[in-house]
Structure 1
Amino acid sequence: MSDPAGTFCLVLHSHLPWLAHHGRWPVGEEWLYQSWAHAYLPVLDVVERLAAEGHRDLLTLGVTPVLAAQLDDPHCLRGMHEWLGGWLLRAHGAAPRLPDLATYEHRAATAALGLFESRWRHGASPVLRRLAGAGALELLGGPATHPFAPMLLPEVRTFALETGLTDATIRLGTRPAGIWAPECGYAPGMEHGYASAGVRRFLVDGPALRGETALARPVGSSDVLAFGRDLEVTYRVWSPRSGYPGDRDYRDFHTFDHPSGLKPARVTGRSVPPEKKHPYDPERATAAVARDAADFVSVVRERLLGLREQLGRPALTVAAFDTELFGHWWHEGPAWLEAVLRALPDAGVRVTTLRGAVAAGLIGEPVELPPSSWGSGKDWRVWAGEPVADLVALNERVQKALLGAVAPARTRDLLRDRLAQEALLALSSDWAFMVSKDSAAGYARERAFGHADRVEEIAGRLTSDRRSQAVHRMTSWPPAPFGHVDARTL
């Protein structure tokens, strides 16, 4: 491609809270298995098949440490295999009532089982290592357990990031040079912590750059680069109000055949009640994928040509999404993704990773970033607003208890390590998000306060010299995700 219209970077962010050993639907491991079956398996299958054809630098993928731990966990691997088998049995059970749907689901479940048994039985890390080693994608890291980092104490923020990057290094064999900052959360000065940790690039939401997302930007006086989500392009796919997945011909996510748990309907219309939705038609959905992929390619090309004319130099557009959109929330997402990745080069658009964009010199002038996130209002209200005031206070208490109980030591102390693990889990950004959005808010508070109670229990028994009681209590708790947390680094 001698003179491309510009450069396109697709960034996917894979994240679920720590759910292993926390029960089933509606808020337990079912979330994990659904996303694994319908998003992680097919999305990485797209990457593997394109890589086998010689394609490179297809996308940039962030897998948060807490999700990576679950995708490698023996308990979760067994549970996932059973879940896939259950999916196949549910398809067979639906055959007398819904023969067309049952046939479709039989094929999908059989394909997923084949992928899992042939490539995933040892976890996600071997799959990701292979694809990264082949140059098919760039892997991002991030802080352990996905905290909203701007609201952490500096020592805890550093500890969370180092723990997460260490986890990625152990699982993937290399230390990531880029991160998807959880919730795209930023506070002025965080770039210096990134630089100290070896992080050279991170993602922010477009408004943090006042919409000037056509180039990566050094932050302040540092050499750490901020890449901004181009909302003009990203929102074409999925926005707070619209996007391709809402089209009438795509599969409806919210309508269930309750005896089987399968989804028999197409969207039909935004105001159409479930009982009046039309049956899902794979051929109509395939036509919609082709139409929307072509539209997106046209949007990207025109956006890049416009930016090139405006800047007088080649430009960049970054479209960034939760991985779970592709296949889990939007059933046809992986097929759309493959169509787009195939068509963009033919339209004169260079597809690469964030790392590739840096290598191509797509870097602008330094910028000072304001406090920001990709949440409502693009500020911190989701994680710091009045509805979550109790969680804000809880997080402050957890951090103080953690720092007060973890004294400098020369030798590893597994009890203090577990205290640090529970603190990191209590500080997950998911709990405040779920409360602010009123999505399983009771469960979120239960989890946050449950982990915080363990922190305070261990801390109290450490400081009162009742270690044996704390160790005994710890044996009754579910396993924590990170066995390598080293509280000595706090």
Structure 2
Amino acid sequence: MSHEGTFCLVLHSHLPWLAHHGSWPVGEEWLYQAWAHSYLPVLDLARRFADEGRRDVFTLGVTPVLAAQLDDPYCLRAFHHWLGDWQLRARHASTLWRGEPLLRDLAAAEHRSADAAIAEFESRWRHGFSPVLRPLLDAGTLELLGGPATHPFQPLLDPRVRAFALRTGLDDTALRLGHRPDGIWAPECGYQPGMEAGYAAAGVRRFLVDGPALRGDTAAARTVGESDVVCFGRDLEVTYRVWSPKAGYPGHGAYRDFHTWDHRVGLKPSRVTGKHIEPAGKAPYDPALAADTLRSHVKDFVDTVVTRLRSLRERDGRPGLVVAAYDTELFGHWWHEGPAWLEAVLRALPDAGVRVTTLRGALEAGHLGAPVDLPASSWGSGKDWRVWDGEQVADLVASGAALQRRLLAAVGEPGIARDPVRDQLVTEALLALSSDWAFMVTKDSAADYARSRAEVHTARFDELAALLGPADRDRAVGVAARLRADDGPFGHLDARAL
């Protein structure tokens, strides 16, 4: 039995709908890189824990819009091609890099990684993501978090649209996985006072906020307001050891550099080397050096968790809780060594006397404190809404608000039968309202792509809305079918429920 306290790892898996919307440098390439380097290894790690009979190892959030892509026949075919291309690029690198021993070995390692990914994909992932994840949930190895359909920033949604997006997302997850999530990772940890009532109505029993929303007191879960809905806060003191706005393990000079490419082969040959060194001056990646550094960072993290839990016990007179929460894509995609670090930490913490469990397990262990009234908050810059509701994106916010008004006017009174035109119209509106577009503009990360995506989906919505009259019925059905071929993440989405 553990005696230091409880640790929960929470991973949030999300990418916006990228299928059929560009490939390189922005678009589907993001999906396939994250799939190969994060989703395959993280699910493989979970499966190995399941094979050992481990339960409640960590909490995995998967957004409905990501799950839809990982199950989509078009994406499955394209990803298989991408894996084959990775294998060919590694083979080409072995020729180009043969004069440098470290790089020659790296090319061979890349080829082995591509081979293993292809074997994993062809044996376990041929029918998509859901058949891989479902047995891990059935076995109780993981706890699943869901969320609203297309990852909208919920505080900026009309209450009817907000409720519909959440219900559609939870329905989608239940359909794919046979498990309706009890908890959600609210997109961007966006919260507005009163949202817990909507969660309760949708059957959501727990959600994440960032640590400052609880004024840093994250040592227990709390019921929110007058509800029975529970919030967990990210412990930033611990979480930021790994990944913070300014620092963290992945920036160490020994790790593989995410930003430096050999564009002849589309592979990353360098280690970080130093923060202010230009790509041409970076040293070649040395896996032995990275492995040594990884061991020290595993020990540092375990020591940090134990120290934090001891200080909480001293302060409160009872075992405390640490919740460390990250984007899944950090592990493998952004931080090459991340999956190995993750496995080592999850194995080392129990040896250090720490209970490792899920959010569900933390509640079962009694980590529930007094009720709390939460402020408006997010996990973005400033911990407020500025990333999604600031000056730089004022036009997107105004456009989104106007779109919601047009959406609610267009769906009208529900008919007796489902209407594929209205279903697609609602789908395009939800895609336009994804929180990713404002984030990318505010952070100046492929901002032009983000603006164009919001505009494209809004224009598609308006095209369908203009055809809603009976005179244009045949044309409307044809346009909806054409758009659904590109944008069809949720086959069960029913506009009548809005």
Q: Please give the range of the TM-score, normalised by the shorter of the 2 chains.
A: over 0.9
Distance across 2 between alignment mates of 1:54 and 1:304: 26
The match for 1:285 is 290
Distance across 1 between alignment mates of 2:37 and 2:161: 35
The match for 2:385 is 380
Three-state SS of the structure 1 residue aligned to 2:260 is coil
The match for 2:69 is 70
The match for 1:439 is 445
Whether 1:334 aligns to 2:334 is no
Does the CA contact (< 8 Å) of 1:405 and 1:463 recur in 2? no
The match for 1:482 is 490
Three-state SS of the structure 1 residue aligned to 2:96 is coil
Matched residue type, 1:83? W
The match for 1:219 is 224
The match for 2:101 is none
Distance across 2 between alignment mates of 1:154 and 1:209: 24
The match for 2:41 is 42
Distance across 2 between alignment mates of 1:465 and 1:149: 36
Pairing partner for 1:419 from 402, 422, 425: 425
Gaps of 5+ in 2: 98-103
Distance across 2 between alignment mates of 1:427 and 1:348: 44
Does the CA contact (< 8 Å) of 1:144 and 1:163 recur in 2? yes
Does the CA contact (< 8 Å) of 1:65 and 1:168 recur in 2? yes
Matched residue type, 1:80? F
Distance across 2 between alignment mates of 1:476 and 1:5: 57
Shift of the alpha carbon at 1:353? 0.3
Distance across 2 between alignment mates of 1:14 and 1:479: 20
Measured against aligned partners, the alpha-carbon deviations of 1:297-348 in whole angstroms (never above 9, x if no partner) come to 0100110111111111111110000000000000000000000000000000
Measured against aligned partners, the alpha-carbon deviations of 1:85-124 in whole angstroms (never above 9, x if no partner) come to 1101100011122122211111111111121111111111
The match for 2:190 is 185
Whether 1:469 aligns to 2:468 is no
The match for 1:248 is 253
CA gap 1:460/1:133 in 2 versus in 1, 3 angstroms: same
The match for 2:376 is 371
Three-state SS of the structure 2 residue aligned to 1:475 is helix
Pairing partner for 1:108 from 108, 113, 124: 113
Matched residue type, 2:384? D
Three-state SS of the structure 1 residue aligned to 2:53 is coil
Shift of the alpha carbon at 1:463? 4.6
The match for 2:100 is none
Does the CA contact (< 8 Å) of 2:377 and 2:384 recur in 1? yes
Pairing partner for 2:301 from 296, 299, 317: 296
Distance across 1 between alignment mates of 2:447 and 2:296: 38
Q: Percent identity?
A: 69
RMSD over aligned CA atoms reads: 1.0
Whether 1:162 aligns to 2:147 is no
Shift of the alpha carbon at 1:356? 0.5
Distance across 2 between alignment mates of 1:328 and 1:483: 29
Number of residues paired by the alignment? 489
Shift of the alpha carbon at 1:438? 0.8
Does the CA contact (< 8 Å) of 1:229 and 1:318 recur in 2? yes
TM-score, length-normalised on structure 1? 0.98
Matched residue type, 1:326? F
Does the CA contact (< 8 Å) of 1:401 and 1:455 recur in 2? no
Pairing partner for 1:132 from 137, 140, 156: 137
TM-score, length-normalised on structure 2? 0.97
Matched residue type, 2:492? H
Does the CA contact (< 8 Å) of 2:56 and 2:358 recur in 1? yes
Shift of the alpha carbon at 1:233? 0.4
Three-state SS of the structure 2 residue aligned to 1:43 is helix
Shift of the alpha carbon at 1:465? 4.5
Three-state SS of the structure 2 residue aligned to 1:320 is strand
Matched residue type, 2:23? R
The match for 1:204 is 209
Three-state SS of the structure 1 residue aligned to 2:152 is coil
Matched residue type, 2:444? D
The match for 2:51 is 52
The match for 1:448 is 454
Matched residue type, 1:196? A
Distance across 2 between alignment mates of 1:472 and 1:484: 19
Matched residue type, 2:32? Y
Measured against aligned partners, the alpha-carbon deviations of 1:404-428 in whole angstroms (never above 9, x if no partner) come to 0112222211111111101100100
Distance across 2 between alignment mates of 1:194 and 1:359: 20
Matched residue type, 1:448? A
Does the CA contact (< 8 Å) of 2:38 and 2:328 recur in 1? yes
Measured against aligned partners, the alpha-carbon deviations of 1:415-449 in whole angstroms (never above 9, x if no partner) come to 11111101100100001111111111111111101
Matched residue type, 2:80? H
Matched residue type, 2:490? F
Shift of the alpha carbon at 1:464? 7.2
Does the CA contact (< 8 Å) of 2:420 and 2:480 recur in 1? no
Matched residue type, 2:290? A
Does the CA contact (< 8 Å) of 2:153 and 2:434 recur in 1? yes
The match for 2:11 is 12
Whether 1:405 aligns to 2:410 is yes
Structure 1 stretch displaced more, 112-121 or 158-167: 112-121
